Amino acid sequence: MRTTLMLHWPAFVLRCALWSFVVASAPARSAAPEAGVAPFSMAGEFVFIDVIVGDSQPLSFIFDTGAGPTALNASTSARLGLVSQRKERASGAAESFEVESIRDVALQVAGVALGEFTVQSTDLSHLERSIGRRIDGIIGFHLLKRNVVAIDYDTSQLSIFPSKKDYPRSGKRVRLKTRNHATTRMTLVLADNDKIDAKFILDNGAGIAVGLSTPFVNKYDLIERMGAEHTIRSRGFSNARPTVRRALIPELEVAGFIF
């Protein structure tokens, strides 16, 4: 079975995957001639791709489907001579925090010019220590905004297709709602066969299969019902270290598929 995840906002095509909670199977098709193709590497659950910022050399970015504005590591911004115009608040999984805002930054991936955007600059050294490799930035929304992106885990290749051009269309199409993040409805199945419908963000940068928010957990008393006793400290975009609980989810249903 091939392992390819097709993403496009406001819809994405599920072809074949073993990532997170979106999976379907279909035969592979070769990329259209106009598609940009580039290799990627992985560190743990994180996908790393090369991104060109302005006229820079290729830089190492996490490709994170849950990321909003592109974020640059503060050390990378300084090395490239990019100057902040203002400060603003950004949100991570655990808190909001202050970042620098830099306008009119050109981004390019796999030979495809994505356009010029306002990007954020913040210290990502805590993530570098946690993951164990250099991180020049994090990209998500700006790559997915106008393109179809295929992540082929078998060949470690990422392909980018212009959204109005031909691209592989086999598999299951799922409508998404987007407002900086892509969300869709899924059904959580508990051990007592109780089914709970919920809205999920599609976030391959989360480093976990499924994450549930505290209000959702409290509403359905999931700590007790799922036996979520084991706790860990997580780390994300911000430097906060929230405590999270781990539990086994018997089933997750999406687009007619059961995981």
Query: Are 161 and 42 contained in the same domain?
Result: yes
Query: Are 89 and 168 contained in the same domain?
Result: yes
Query: Are 89 and 200 contained in the same domain?
Result: no
Number of domains making up the chain: 2
Query: Are 45 and 73 contained in the same domain?
Result: yes
- If you ran DSSP here, which 8-state letter would residue 145 be given? S
Cis peptide, bond prior to residue 250, ω within 30 of zero: no
Burial (0-12, 13-18, 19+ Cβ within 10 Å), 144: buried
pLDDT at 47: 92
- Residue 100: CA atoms inside 13 Å, Cβ hemisphere, count? 16
Enclosing domain of residue 16 = 4-176
Query: Are 221 and 247 contained in the same domain?
Result: yes
Query: Are 101 and 228 contained in the same domain?
Result: no
pLDDT at 214: 86
Tell me, what CATH number does 139's domain have?
A: 2.40.70.10
Please indicate, yes or no, whether the overall pTM of this predicted structure exceeds 0.75.
no
Closest CA to 190 of 138, 135, 251: 251
Q: Tokens 């979520």 identify what position? A: 228
Query: Are 168 and 182 contained in the same domain?
Result: no
pLDDT at 141: 86
Last residue of a domain, one of 146, 176, 206: 176
Query: Are 9 and 119 contained in the same domain?
Result: yes
- Residue 196: CA atoms inside 13 Å, Cβ hemisphere, count? 18
Query: Are 11 and 31 contained in the same domain?
Result: yes
- Alpha-carbon distance 6 to 168, whole Å? 8
Query: Are 185 and 169 contained in the same domain?
Result: no
Last residue of a domain, one of 176, 210, 237: 176
Query: Are 115 and 218 contained in the same domain?
Result: no
Contact yes or no for 56/129 (Cβ under 8 A): no
Query: Are 107 and 202 contained in the same domain?
Result: no
What is the residue-level pLDDT of the chain in tens, covering all 259 positions?
Answer: 344 444 444 333 333 232 333 333 333 444 444 578 989 999 988 899 999 999 999 999 999 888 888 999 999 999 999 998 887 766 555 556 688 899 999 999 999 999 999 999 999 998 899 889 999 999 988 998 888 888 888 999 998 887 655 666 667 777 777 776 778 899 999 989 999 999 988 887 776 778 888 899 899 998 888 887 766 555 555 555 567 788 888 898 988 888 8
Contact yes or no for 21/200 (Cβ under 8 A): yes
Output b/e per residue, 2-41; b: 16+ Cβ within 10 A.
Answer: ebbbbbbbebbbbbbbebbbbbbbbebeebeeebbbbebe
pLDDT at 157: 92
pLDDT at 208: 72
